[in-house]
Each structure stands twice: as C-alpha cells, then as structure tokens.
Copies of this chain bind each other. A is one copy, B any other.
Amino acid sequence: MTRPISDALHARIRRDIESRIMSGQWRPGHRIPYEHEWMEAYGCSRMTVNKALRSLVQSGLLESRKRAGTFVAAPRFHRAALEIPDIRAEVEGQGLTYRLDLLSRDRRKATEADKALLRVSSGDLLAIECRHFADDLPYALEHRLINLAAVPEAAEVDFSTQPPGSWLLAHVPWTEAEHRITAINADPATAQSLHVPENAACVALERWTWIGAGRDDERITYARQLYPGDRYALTAHFHA
C-alpha cells in the first residue's frame, strides 16, 4: 500500500521534510525554511520545492500562510485511513471461502423507517437482509436499503450469489460516504444468525452512501453490517 518510492528531486525534498517532522526534530508550529532557502539548499527551482511542499500540505503535514512561511501543522486528531474492503474481497483475501446467504429481499415503497435511514423523502427501494459466511462460519449480518430512484438497475440484479456491496461498489463508483462504527449487544435473533451467544458484543458498521456534493445529491444506499466482536476487527493505519 506504500507509494512507490521515487527518486525525483521533489520526492526527495518531500521525504527529507517528512522525516524531520516524523523524527520530532521539527514540532508543530515550527516554521520550516522558506521556499527560496530550500531552492538554494538543493540547487533547484522554486517550482520543484513548491511541488514537495504542496504535496505535504495536501496530506496535512504542513500548513502555509502567505507572507509568513510554511509551518508544521498541529495534529489535532489521530488521523487514520480506514479502508473497508467489500466483504467478499476481505474474506477471500484471507484465503477463506466466501458464501452469501440471502435472507430476504423486498421491493417496496419507502416506509417511514426506511426514509429516515436512507435519508430520502419518498420513492421505491430494495431492502435486503443477508449473511456473509467465511468458511461456513457467519462473518457478518447485513441489512441494506438501495434507493431504486438512484440505481434502478439494482432491481434486476440477482443478490443471492453476488453481495450487494460488491455489486454496488462496481456499479456506483466514487460516491460520498459516511461511516458510523459502534458496538451493540446481539439480540436473540442476531445471536442465532451469527452463531454467537446471546448478548455477545458485535461491531456495528453503518454506512450511508450518496452521489454528488451539492443540494441535488442522490442517496444511493444505506448498509448496516454486524460483525461478531470476537472474530472481527477494523484496522486503520496512519502514515502521512
């Protein structure tokens, strides 16, 4: 997942700055040398220095202010890049056999509850309940709503073999998404479905997906996935 290291000059400058920040030599708030100082130091043009700095600004390590200079940004949070693979890919990536179990599929007009979850005001949708298996052990329980106004093709798709997440990821790419991760106790039905004891702690991952950033944004899907807490962990890595 690491970027291929490049021997380009701007990449070297970038790495040099990065390592001085990472090592703690330059702390947040520290004003790093001016662009013209870097260009002297490396005997290159300002554009080259600028390219390095801009890329560090984009990744949040630096912050520039006109006239004042460029500063090491203050980390206000622990940032991490969470990459949630689609479940089939995740299971198969672990060398296990994936199997999907479609529990229910219902095409209906949005109920009040659906509207609240999908964040739409009306329309038809597809409601799916399914279980994901890894080597015959339940891996996740999924409840999903798909907005048919946004993705009419979904009405024709056979979700008894293809997980809805995989299909959507391939067919409705590059959407905006919001995730909510919490923990819940398995109710009796969930416990039975996931083969865990009643009240077992589960990771609940909710995801809202939509297209477009403006007012005319279009809700695509809502998904809620429950994972047995003792078999599953989300991992995230911060690298800058």
- Inter-subunit contact B174/A22 (CB<8 Å): yes
Does A149 touch B at the CB level, under 8 Å?
no
Does A173 touch B at the CB level, under 8 Å?
yes
Bound complex: CA of A83 vs CA of B223, how far in Å?
Answer: 21
- Inter-subunit contact A233/B182 (CB<8 Å): yes
Of A105-113, A129-137, A198-206, the segment with at least 4 beta carbons within 8 Å of chain B is: A198-206
Bound complex: CA of A202 vs CA of B74, how far in Å?
Answer: 30
- Inter-subunit contact A58/B61 (CB<8 Å): no
Least Cβ distance of A11 to chain B in Å?
Answer: 12
Bound complex: CA of A217 vs CA of B61, how far in Å?
Answer: 19
How many of A's residues come within 8 Å of B, CB to CB?
63
Least Cβ distance of A205 to chain B in Å?
Answer: 9
- Inter-subunit contact B85/A77 (CB<8 Å): yes
CB closest chain-B residue, reference A51 = B54
Bound complex: CA of A175 vs CA of B78, how far in Å?
Answer: 9
- Inter-subunit contact A79/B78 (CB<8 Å): no
Chain B residues within an 8 Å CB radius of A232 = 182
Bound complex: CA of A170 vs CA of B79, how far in Å?
Answer: 14
CB closest chain-B residue, reference A27 = B173
Does A76 touch B at the CB level, under 8 Å?
yes
Does A185 touch B at the CB level, under 8 Å?
yes
Of A119-127, A154-162, A207-215, the segment with at least 4 beta carbons within 8 Å of chain B is: A207-215
Bound complex: CA of A81 vs CA of B182, how far in Å?
Answer: 16
A-B contact pairs, 16 of them (CB 8 A): A22-B212, A61-B174, A77-B85, A79-B81, A80-B82, A80-B83, A80-B177, A176-B238, A177-B237, A178-B235, A179-B236, A182-B234, A183-B201, A184-B201, A199-B201, A201-B201
